Structure 1
Amino acid sequence: MSLPATEPVDRQLPSDEARELLTLTRDLVQRELLPRAAADEAADRFPREVFTTLGKAGLLSLPYGEQYGGGEQPYEVYLQVLEELAAGWLAVGLGVSVHTLSCHALASFGAEEQRERWLPAMLGGDQLGAYCLSEPQSGSDAAALRTRADLDGDRYVVSGTKAWITHGGHADFYSALVRTGEDGARGISCLLVPGDAAGLTAAPAEHKMGMRSSPTAQLHFDGVLVDGDRLIGHEGQGFQIALSALDSGRLGIAACAIGVARAALDLAVGYAGTRQQFGRPIADFQGLSFMLADMATRIEAGRALYLAAARRRDAGLAFSKEAAMAKLFCTDTAMQVTVDAVQVLGGYGYTQDFPAERYMREAKVLQIVEGTNQIQRMVIGRHLTGR
């Protein structure tokens, strides 16, 4: 399987550098991702070395400043790189998005001394991060988290359990939201926790419907000692940090969703052009060609929506509502397009001989992570009504 040569050559991009970056990404997808994605997914095998390759190519640091080793790219460009990666292999595209999310707290809220000390290594390509917000009893209600961090001298003692952690047990560092004060949002703080901290262990990876090569696991903090200088921002600022990170992270999920949808559409178009029924390709039948047209239109609309939100972010404008809209629409699009791709392939779409069924299984999780689509509708509604 290969990606169509017309993408992204005919796409509007802000600079020649951006075009070269997407061309580089596409080449890496063809050489490093597509040949092994299906086999690694079937074997539940985490492709850690792929992230090392992407890191050496500079793709793990794109939206961050050059002074810390980042790529200094606008979100408009970074998200299109994510789309390319996810079109080849969602577990990798989403993994890069999670790594970027895990760097956000330090990059945006850390003191300058903290950024100079830790951020270059986090962005250097050898490390992979994870983001720890959800817990077994607090998913959408993130302000109800219970993992505690109590200051003992100059170190925090952290105890509790985090859940649904992408890269859990494999990450080199964790941006962890913990409770340092009273109940509710005002008692939450953010700690940068080393992946090899004593007392930090991961449960066996969850057995998931899709994205099986991306490890998702609970993390147990059993009296983990974290130096006080690893507090990001100030005590009680953690919930603000978390919401800020999620606004950006939702755009990453939106871009990944369009990547998966695009892969499904490409498969469906290719199949429809070669599958013969009644003496001609099934693409010639109006019912099916209309279905392909609707799939393509949704994808273009989704990309336009996430890019519009990204441009607001790049311009320093508020984009929380737009990020929620993009996440909602793009992930619903991915679900619909992948279901339709299975339908286009008919019985073959329901078999593992083609990746259509994998795309459909992968698309479902995108409607859940980084805030369910029901939560996105709540966010949008509150922006509209001021409540």
Structure 2
Amino acid sequence: MAVVGPLSRIARIGSTFCRNNSVVSSRSSQRRGIVSCIDPSHGLTDEQKEFQKVAFDFAANEMAPHMADWDQKEIFPVETMRKAAQLGFGGIYVQPDVGGSGLSRLDTSIIFEALSTGCVSTTAYISIHNMCAWMIDTFGNNEQREKFCPDLCSMEKFASYCLTEPGSGSDAASLLTSAQKKGDHYILNGSKAFISGGGDTDVYVVMCRTGVKGPKGISCLVVEKGTPGLSFGKKEKKVGWNSQPTRAVIFEDCEVPVTNRLGEEGQGFNIAMKGLNGGRINIASCSLGAAHASLLLARDHLLVRKQFGEALANNQYLQFKLAEMATKLVASRLLVREAAKALQTNHPDAVSLCSMAKLFVTDECFNICNQALQMHGGYGYLKDYAVQQFVRDIRVHQILEGTNEVMRMIISRNLLMES
């Protein structure tokens, strides 16, 4: 496989994409953050600004025009995601020798924030897919990396993360899905709940119990679609995130080769948690994109909507609300980027900072989107207006990748240990 430098790959393909889409809508210009005080390119290097622009343009041209349709018809936009993968977005922080872009956690956050302005639901799935590819790249052996990663990075195949079970959500270490080793296979039994992409994806990164109770008895297996004994529940009907299917994943005497185990037996919980640290940054970044887009939609609505004989933008209460939204957006972005840098450098406080970012940003960005809807009045509640979809799509970010209540537990535990 020819290895192309990650930045040159994204920039080169992206510039070609932009030339072929030279007519950029006003919505695209807004989403690139032309309002200077909330400009998401502040503090970035020229290289980061380049692939951020590629992501914003892709969001505006390939995602935003279809966002409502994907939501209403519950379409999993496979071909659009494969176009994103051609820009290097299928394995953003996977190593280049197996097809990844080899970018940093900060770079990844910048990209997911930009893509989410076009469709949060689709970008959130791409972030989960990237997390799975990274887990295989990081914890797999060379044979596993070469087998799975190239097809995941190109999004020729799609991945799902399988940790949550019907009876174990926040208490992940109590999971019951079991894998008994028999010869050169594991016999996998149990079920996983709320799995993004379930049934439509090709690779399942599964946490299962191979030993004693608790986290030390958990291992990680990669299960391929089509494996006998692997089946799926009904497609769930959700408030948001409708461009990605969600199903239960069921294992009934499912035979998985021992060669599909990532790491050693008993390392699965550690692998799962390391994946989630990055996942929390990713999902917070998706919330940033939604909040940025919603703030601009609210700003534009206040400028054109008139009540009591003048534009809403002249109302001081709404001016102050808009100022608060902008301040919280920028504060959220700074926290995410600080946490991303800490995770990249294995800083001792990385876990706590990732938890802080996930807690603060998903809460505050939901509030920004919700306030933007309120500013639209009755129009904000209509599906003709994008702001309501941003509200619906990011509400779940306060629940998944560890609930925000669990984030508080992680942060407080760290504080009290140091007292």
TM class, shorter-length: over 0.9
Contact 2:32–2:53 under 8 Å retained in 1: no
Residue of structure 1 equivalent to 2:389:
358
Could you tell me which runs of 5 or more consecutive residues in structure 2 were left unpaired when the two chains were aligned.
1-25
Residue of structure 1 equivalent to 2:84:
54
Q: Provide the aligned length of Structure 1 versus Structure 2.
A: 387
Compute the displacement of 1:110 (Å): 1.7
SS in 2 for 1:34: helix
- Amino acid in the other structure paired with 2:100: G
Residue 74 (1) aligns with residue 104 (2) = yes
Listed as ranges, the matches of 1:52-201 within 5 Å are 52-201=82-231
Q: Distance in 1 between matches of 2:33 and 2:343?
A: 22
Q: Distance in 2 between matches of 1:220 and 1:317?
A: 37
Residue 343 of structure 1, aligned match among 351, 357, 374: 374
Listed as ranges, the matches of 1:277-296 within 5 Å are 277-296=307-326
Compute the displacement of 1:41 (Å): 0.4
- Amino acid in the other structure paired with 1:215: P
- Amino acid in the other structure paired with 1:296: A
Residue of structure 1 equivalent to 2:300:
270
- Amino acid in the other structure paired with 1:218: A
Q: Distance in 1 between matches of 2:80 and 2:112?
A: 14
Q: Distance in 2 between matches of 1:220 and 1:266?
A: 42
SS in 1 for 2:194: strand
Contact 2:369–2:387 under 8 Å retained in 1: yes
CA displacement, residues 3-33 of structure 1 (integer Å, 9 cap, x when unaligned): 4447357513554332221111112112210
SS in 2 for 1:36: helix
Q: Distance in 2 between matches of 1:32 and 1:349?
A: 24
CA displacement, residues 164-208 of structure 1 (integer Å, 9 cap, x when unaligned): 100001111011001111111111000011122222111111111
CA displacement, residues 43-96 of structure 1 (integer Å, 9 cap, x when unaligned): 122212211111122111111211121111111111111011111101111011
Contact 1:158–1:224 under 8 Å retained in 2: yes
Q: Distance in 2 between matches of 1:364 and 1:5?
A: 23
Q: What fraction of aligned residue pairs are identical, expressed as a percent?
A: 35
Structure 1 runs (4+) deviating above 6 angstroms are none
Q: Distance in 1 between matches of 2:45 and 2:317?
A: 40
Residue 251 of structure 1, aligned match among 249, 273, 281: 281
Contact 2:290–2:365 under 8 Å retained in 1: yes
After TM superposition, the score normalised by the length of structure 2 is: 0.89
Contact 1:257–1:363 under 8 Å retained in 2: yes
Compute the displacement of 1:244 (Å): 0.7
Contact 2:176–2:209 under 8 Å retained in 1: yes
Distance 1:39 1:121, change over 3 A: closer
- Amino acid in the other structure paired with 2:27: S
Could you tell me which runs of 5 or more consecutive residues in structure 1 were left unpaired when the two chains were aligned.
none
Listed as ranges, the matches of 1:294-305 within 5 Å are 294-305=324-335
Compute the displacement of 1:316 (Å): 2.9
Residue 2 of structure 1, aligned match among 9, 17, 27: 27
Distance 1:8 1:350, change over 3 A: closer
After TM superposition, the score normalised by the length of structure 1 is: 0.96
More deviation, 50-59/158-167: 50-59
SS in 2 for 1:2: helix
Contact 2:31–2:293 under 8 Å retained in 1: no
CA displacement, residues 219-261 of structure 1 (integer Å, 9 cap, x when unaligned): 0111111111111010011011111111110000110111111
Residue of structure 1 equivalent to 2:401:
370
Distance 1:262 1:54, change over 3 A: same
- Amino acid in the other structure paired with 1:47: P
More deviation, 16-25/71-80: 16-25
CA displacement, residues 97-125 of structure 1 (integer Å, 9 cap, x when unaligned): 10011123222222233223332222233
Compute the displacement of 1:315 (Å): 2.2
Residue 385 (1) aligns with residue 416 (2) = yes
Q: Distance in 2 between matches of 1:44 and 1:120?
A: 28
Residue 20 (1) aligns with residue 50 (2) = yes
Residue 227 (1) aligns with residue 252 (2) = no
